[in-house]
Amino acid sequence: MLIIGLTGQTGAGKSTVSEILEKYGCYHIDADKIAHEILENNKEVQEKLKERFGEDITDKDGKIDRKILAARAFADNESTLSLNAITHPAVNNEIQNIIQKQKEYGTKAVIIDAIALFESGEAKICDYTVAVTAPRDVRLERITSRDNISVSRANERINAQKDESFFTLNADYIINNCEPYNIYEETEKLAYKLKLKKE
């Protein structure tokens, strides 16, 4: 089974690339979604986060308030590293479980869609890695619209991540999601290179 690592800065367009590749029979593993589920359900992770970022990151029902957590975790590089150190092992473990199940189902390829693909160590299990890129102003507009957050909060998220060069230098393939490139054409070219066939 082919394992494709998909990464890039927030708002670059990884979800769109994943949707296109799903039409080629790829199973989409969304690391961000898994992380959200872990924040909801993993008591050990919740306790470690409260210890690091404050007891008040939970709401009246004891659930992690992701907006409060994000504001603190992305405030500076040290805080972001702490968040990653707490959450990545649990996310990686769940990804490994999903990959094993997909192998048993006979799936021909999986996509690990993760901003922290390289930092988390997930890239090591991938056959190929792909970075999606887009200009900062385009990403900023997408993030504020998608997540309904302020420009300053969106800038904090962007600033907490690696520069574009980190992704392009480490990835095997690059998909440009900005004019004059077309993300659908670029992704189809990638599918051809990886010998994926539409179902």
More confident residue, 18 or 150: 18
Domains of the chain with bracketed CATH: 2-193 (3.40.50.300)
Instruction: Note the pLDDT tens digit of each residue in 5-43.
Output: 999 998 999 999 999 999 999 999 999 999 999 999 999
Count CB atoms within 10 A of the CB of residue 26.
24
pLDDT the model gives residue 112: 97
Range 123-149 average pLDDT: 92
Q: Note if the pTM is more than 0.95.
A: no
pLDDT score of 199 more than 80: no
Instruction: Note the pLDDT tens digit of each residue in 54-102.
Output: 999 998 888 899 889 988 998 888 998 899 999 999 999 999 999 999 9
**Alpha carbons 177 and 39: distance in angstroms, whole number:** 30
